[in-house]
Chains A and B, each alone.
Chain A
Amino acid sequence: MNTIVCVKQVLDPEIPPAKFKIDAEAKQVIPPAGVPPVISVYDERAVEAALRLKDKHKGKITALSMGSEKAADVIKHAIALGADDGFVLQDAAFENLDSFGTAYVLAKAIQKIGEYDLVLCGRQAADWGAGEVGSILAEILGIPVITLASEIQAQDKTLRVKRIVSDGFEVLEAPMPCLITVGSEIGLPRLPAGPRLMMARKKVIPIWRAQDIGAEPTKLDKQNAHTEVIGLSVPTRKTECEMITGATPADAAAHLAAKLSKLI
């Protein structure tokens, strides 16, 4: 079973809010110094899902990441976890693409790789959180998509997927090849096993540019983007504390109840 996993490198979500800075003019986040970017959490779960299938059914896992040259680190991370191979998609033309553009680039790379039974993505990226790329990518590739998977089982040429919905889960089946986006409900990713860590560190990750994957310039043209960022701001967090008092505990409770009923 051959799986392709798309992984994204993001700013470390553990950066304390106070240290989070943006350039409102350029509508960009300013990466703080001294904090290495990390693999997007959901994408790491997608790698884990791929590994679990590989544990059972053998096969090959290829990791893909579109981003800067530093994205080689997340590919190495995927390889340390157990992926067999990986490529970085980097080109000036790929910068600041929207979900449609990103999906297009990934699709071209996947088509270049050629044979696959399954494409896995995280349910959304840990930075922008749009959750669109997976579905669009499936559309371009012309394969079925199941989102928000919490469990994936493979049998012959069919995948059986437990999908999280707001009040429980549903079980869906899809023929291979197909695309599945993975949620954190799939479970904690494993720790990269011993020596793979050292092997991955030394590995040279090939970089594919626009012409390597045959991406058409018009599709990458920002003018043709489907979405536009209007503004970017750091959410302000405000906490207020008010002590509710009363002569007796019962009094205080009555005041609290009155206050709450006003708030709701």
Chain B
Amino acid sequence: MSPVSATYWGVPGFFIFWGLFAIAFGLFLRRFYFLFRLVRLGKPENRFDRIGQRITSTLAVIASQGCSLKSVSRTDIAGIGHAWMFWGFGFFLVGYIVFVGLEGGLGLSIPSAFERVYLSILDIVALFVVAAISVAVVKRYITRPARLERKQRRKEKIIMVSLFTAMTSLMMLHYCVEGLRYAAYNLSSAPPIGGVLASFLTSTGSSSATLLGTYNAIWWLNYVLLLGALVYTPHSEHLHPLFSPANILFKSLGPKMALEPIPPEEHAQESFGVSKIPDFTQKQLLDLLACTWCGRCQANCPANLTGKSLSPREMILNLKEHLLDVGPELLAGKADADSMIGSVVTEDEIWACTTCGACQEVCPVNIEHVHKIIDLRRNLVLTQNKMPESAQLMLRNMQSRGHPWAGIQSLRLRGDWTSDQELKVLSDGDTADTLFWVGCTGALVERNVQATLAMTRVLKAASVDFAVLGETETCCGDPARRAGYEFQFQMMAEQNIEVFKSHNIKEIITSCPHCYNTIKNEYPRFGGDFKVVHSTQFIADLIAQGKLKLTKDLKSRLTYHDPCYLGRYNDVYQEPRQILQAIPNTTLVEMERSRNKGLCCGAGGGHTWIEEQPGTTKINQLRLQDALGTGAAQVVTACPYCLQMFEESIEHKDKKDSLKVQDLAEIVEAAMR
């Protein structure tokens, strides 16, 4: 019954079927192998650890479409649309294997009961797919939400149009093939839509020979279109169906956004970081091929939202285009790789990033943007000695003064915040189990010292036995690391670890999410394994144990700003909120963008010191709008940089009367008395 069993111009259909298949599959494999080799241009990176766990979680997230559903805002239905299309095509794929492959290609006969049931399912599925495609077309070309806004290259336009046309055609062809088949062979109990079509065709009075001929022709057309799609996909730039699953499979399983150290064996090199395609790791190149163009990253990027030139999506896509452009020559060994900095990615883009991680958080296919940006910075700073003047000033301070601050009249001296505080300040040879690590900003900048002092009073009130380092504390190294000055960071990490060990420290409490992230997630790579607790976690614990009682009625409406390095980097969302909710008579209102979608304050990635580029507005002012939008009287945060950024934007916008910013420790202290 299958059109393959017929003979065409004396050639058996089977020959034609397998001949076409061999050609198409060959072309597919050839291109796929080429793309595979492109990825292999990168430096090897071991992402095969815990492979079992990787495989199961990848299958789970793809099958459930958790990847595309997880990260879209409530008002955006793209994730649902994608899920429909994906599941729909899943059904069709099985259908093609059974009805085209097994029945057609291998000539097996499929039980008619199964056929009827399965085709009926496909009848309905195809409707869903067409609906999803229509919505996608409307969104992409008519309503155009901001995240999809982009100047599409001509190539991309062609790809999108071909994609939508091919998918719609396949769905339509499904009905045609089905209708003709049932009409031509005059079969009974047809699937719903196929049945309607079949009776219509029969009612036209066409001869069964005509129907059969048309059926055969349409069947082959469908087959050729399928093979065409197989060949076209890897040749187009829409590679995500092929590479996204692999990207999810090889995603980083370590702490989020943690950076790779430059290993000692590479210290003698002339060049550091990334400036050319082969400087990337294989996973970083795979990232480029896996991008789906969805724009979620861009819609959440603080730099992009405030009109800076950086868009994480454009960066990824430009790099991908560059890879596809220069890849063939690199593979042939014909050309040396060119530097991409300045041409493919601009220095402005590289420095605009606050390393907030919002892009990675929402990316459906686990692309790691922050890594790449830091690698590009490493090249600029370590190899080319090129950076914005403000970045250089900060790095010079880190190097010569041991902290990033300088030039502020009101700056405190290291350790002078401890005077008259009756604190246990560690000197050489002293030991302590618990260290309160203050961090540079909390020790040196007047406003932040207030928060630090509040925290020490809270700890004392709860009778916590802790010590501080006072004047011997240095920087944790984070600003240097995020600015690409890796060796300075490594030195500071090694020094600090030595200091911790010399005092026999077991547990480190810190109020700074950047220190917290660095000591907790990055020091282990340098031999420092300590229990690290953020002040919010510690306080929440004290409250839970009944050691701290928040009894004072603050009668306040508060909103909480999630620091990126506490929230997104370390998933600490609950504890700060628990604490605020434990204060009597306090209402906690959430900003529209909060928790893992929280907007950066603008200070991460060294941007407390690196001057913000001109754009439509400043990041901290955008965030101030979010806070003002809640109608809260106070915005509470748990990071010294966020505190500063809010102080600055409130001052700048003259909103001191309507909004006050406080560190969580300050609120807790106020609620204790």
Whether B392 pairs with A191 at a CB distance below 8 angstroms is yes
Closest to A188 in B: B392
Q: How far is the CA of A137 from the CA of B317 in the complex (A)?
A: 60
Is residue A168 within 8 Å, beta carbon to beta carbon, of the partner chain? no
Q: How far is the CA of A197 from the CA of B267 in the complex (A)?
A: 11
Closest to B268 in A: A195
Instruction: List B contacts of A34 (CB < 8 A).
Output: 413-416, 470-472
Which residues between 1 and 58 of chain A lie within 8 Å of chain B, taking CB atoms? 12, 14-17, 19, 32-36, 38-39
Instruction: List B contacts of A33 (CB < 8 A).
Output: 413-416, 471
Range, interface on chain A: 20 to 34
Whether B401 pairs with A12 at a CB distance below 8 angstroms is yes
Is residue B396 within 8 Å, beta carbon to beta carbon, of the partner chain? yes
Is residue B601 within 8 Å, beta carbon to beta carbon, of the partner chain? no
Instruction: List A contacts of B410 (CB < 8 A).
Output: 16
Instruction: Produce 1/0 per residue, B458-477, CB < 8 A to A.
Output: 00000000000011100000
Whether A194 pairs with B407 at a CB distance below 8 angstroms is no
Supposing A191-B392, A194-B267, A195-B268 touch, asked if A36 and B399 sit within 8 A by C-beta, the answer is no
Which residues between 521 and 580 of chain B lie within 8 Å of chain A, taking CB atoms? none
Instruction: Produce 1/0 per residue, A179-206, CB < 8 A to B.
Output: 0000000001011111101100100000
Instruction: List B contacts of A39 (CB < 8 A).
Output: 400
Is residue A77 within 8 Å, beta carbon to beta carbon, of the partner chain? yes
Instruction: List B contacts of A190 (CB < 8 A).
Output: 385
Supposing A14-B407, A33-B471, A197-B491 touch, asked if A192 and B399 sit within 8 A by C-beta, the answer is yes
Supposing A34-B414, A34-B471, A35-B414 touch, asked if A191 and B399 sit within 8 A by C-beta, the answer is yes
Q: How far is the CA of A19 from the CA of B282 in the complex (A)?
A: 52
Is residue B488 within 8 Å, beta carbon to beta carbon, of the partner chain? yes
Instruction: List B contacts of A194 (CB < 8 A).
Output: 262, 267, 272, 382-383, 486-487
Whether A198 pairs with B491 at a CB distance below 8 angstroms is yes
CB distance from B80 to the nearest CB of A (A): 48
CB distance from B32 to the nearest CB of A (A): 38
Whether A36 pairs with B385 at a CB distance below 8 angstroms is no
Closest to B266 in A: A195
Range, interface on chain B: 35 or more
Instruction: Produce 1/0 per residue, A86-127, CB < 8 A to B.
Output: 000000000000000000000000000000000000000000
Query: B411: which of A16, A36, A38, A188 is its contact (CB, 8 Å)?
Result: A16
Whether B485 pairs with A191 at a CB distance below 8 angstroms is yes
Instruction: List B contacts of A35 (CB < 8 A).
Output: 401, 413-414
CB distance from A78 to the nearest CB of B (A): 12
CB distance from A76 to the nearest CB of B (A): 11
Closest to B262 in A: A194
Q: How far is the CA of A194 from the CA of B486 in the complex (A)?
A: 7
CB distance from B5 to the nearest CB of A (A): 69
Whether A14 pairs with B406 at a CB distance below 8 angstroms is yes
Closest to A198 in B: B487
Q: How far is the CA of A19 from the CA of B471 in the complex (A)?
A: 14
Whether A38 pairs with B471 at a CB distance below 8 angstroms is no
Q: How far is the CA of A34 from the CA of B414 in the complex (A)?
A: 5
Whether B382 pairs with A193 at a CB distance below 8 angstroms is yes
Is residue B152 within 8 Å, beta carbon to beta carbon, of the partner chain? no
Instruction: Produce 1/0 per residue, A215-242, CB < 8 A to B.
Output: 0000000000000000000000000000
Instruction: List A contacts of B402 (CB < 8 A).
Output: 36
Task: List chain A positions with a Cβ less than 8 A from chain B.
Answer: 12, 14-17, 19, 32-36, 38-39, 77, 80, 188, 190-195, 197-198, 201
Q: List 26 A-B contacts (CB under 8 A).
A: A14-B406, A15-B413, A16-B408, A16-B411, A16-B413, A33-B413, A33-B415, A34-B471, A34-B472, A35-B401, A39-B400, A77-B400, A80-B399, A188-B389, A188-B392, A190-B385, A191-B381, A191-B387, A191-B396, A191-B485, A192-B399, A194-B486, A197-B491, A198-B267, A198-B487, A201-B491
Q: Please name 11 further chain A to chain B contacts, defined as beta carbons within 8 Å, in addition to the given A34-B470, A190-B385, sorted by A numbering.
A: A12-B401, A14-B406, A14-B411, A34-B416, A34-B471, A192-B399, A193-B382, A193-B383, A193-B385, A194-B486, A198-B267
